[in-house]
Amino acid sequence: TDWWDRIVLQVWDDSQWLRNFRMCKGTFLELCHLLSPALKRKNTKMRAALTVQKRVAIALWKLATPDSYRSVGNQFGVGKSTVGVAVMQVANTITELLLSKVVTLGNVQVIVDGFAAMGFPNCGGAIDGTHIPILGLDHQGSQYINFSMVLQALVDHKGCFTNINMGWPGKVHDARAFRNSGLFKRLQEGIYFPDQKITVGDVEMPIVILGEPAYPLMPWLMKLYTGILDSSKELFNYRLSKCRMVIECAFGHLKGRWRSLLTGSDLSE
């Protein structure tokens, strides 16, 4: 408790906050302010409630490191079960209050211009899936390859997440997870992006997204040519691959910042 109250809150500079909580102190305090209405708890006759700041800090420390619940509890002077409760409370509150404000499409024209500058015209995003390791689902082990869940994400030209879909077992193919997502339905109905088309040759091309070979080729989803390629198809593949790298980098940054995503998150705790 003294370590948190007297050292972290009062002594640590922004470089120490960034290394350990993956955000500067100012961002941390702003996050606590946004989550406070839902996370604040009253003291009881038995004990004083954890402050919102300490609860958020415990959750961030657990998400940012591969440390066990017990280790994080020892770090903050609380029990293992308290860490588990704090992580779930903070994660659920962020999902309920902030997810729709942060993971959003934003200005489509800025995104299209960004991808055009990278070499691909009328592009609204790059899509891919990644496996998030999990533990604690023994009764469904056959569905979870290496015990993982699939995170499907669409990102803009800067690698910012604009749409996510999470929860399919690792056994499920990326294309199936995509076809059963709300994003696929909205793209198929033509309501996700504005009706903004350009003419390529004699074909009208809507705003498209870029996917790997596992995804289905659609009027609004482009993927690489395969087989024997001429120079124009090779150039197409080069530009598509260059633009699609933003989703690979986005997943790398996500797992690099929140190290718990590299190890099995225990969903049973």
Task: Write the DSSP symbol of residue 138.
Answer: G
In this prediction, residues 50-78 reach a mean pLDDT of 93
Over its C-alpha atoms, the chain yields an Rg (Å, rounded) of 22
- pTM, whole model, 2 decimals? 0.88
Distance CA 123, CA 150 (A): 24
Above 50 in pLDDT, residue 128?
A: yes
β-pairing, 123-135 vs 208-210, is parallel
As a whole number, mean pLDDT of residues 64-89 equals 92
Residue 198's SS3 state is strand
State pLDDT tens for residues 225-259. 998 899 999 999 999 999 999 999 999 999 999 99
**Element (DSSP H or E) covering residue 253:** helix 231-257
- Give the 3-state secondary structure of residue 12: coil
Return the structure tokens found at 11: 């002594």
Say how far apart CA 217 and CA 8 lie, in whole Å.
Answer: 51
Asked if pLDDT for residue 142 goes beyond 70, the answer is no
Q: How far is residue 5 from each of residues 13, 44, 70, 147, 192, measured CA to CA in Å?
A: 14, 21, 20, 38, 47
Structure tokens at 24: 């500067």
| CB distance 205 to 195 below 8 Å | no
- CA torsion 128→217→99→115, rounded to 10°? 80
pLDDT digit string (tens) for 2-38? Answer: 899 899 999 999 999 999 999 999 999 999 999 999 9
Spatial separation of the C-alpha atoms in residues 28 and 30, rounded to whole Å: 5
Within 10 A of 2 (CB to CB), how many other CB atoms are there? Answer: 7
Q: What is the pLDDT of residue 140?
A: 52
**Whole-angstrom distance, CA of residue 204 vs CA of residue 229:** 23
- pLDDT confidence tier of residue 118, bands split at 50, 70 and 90: very high
Which amino acid is located at 163 in the chain? N
For 153-190, how does the pLDDT look when each residue is reduced to its tens digit (9 = 90+)? 999 999 999 999 998 888 888 899 999 999 999 999 99
| Residue 269: band (very low, low, confident or very high) from pLDDT cuts 50, 70, 90 | very low
4 close to 76: Cβ distance less than 8 angstroms: yes
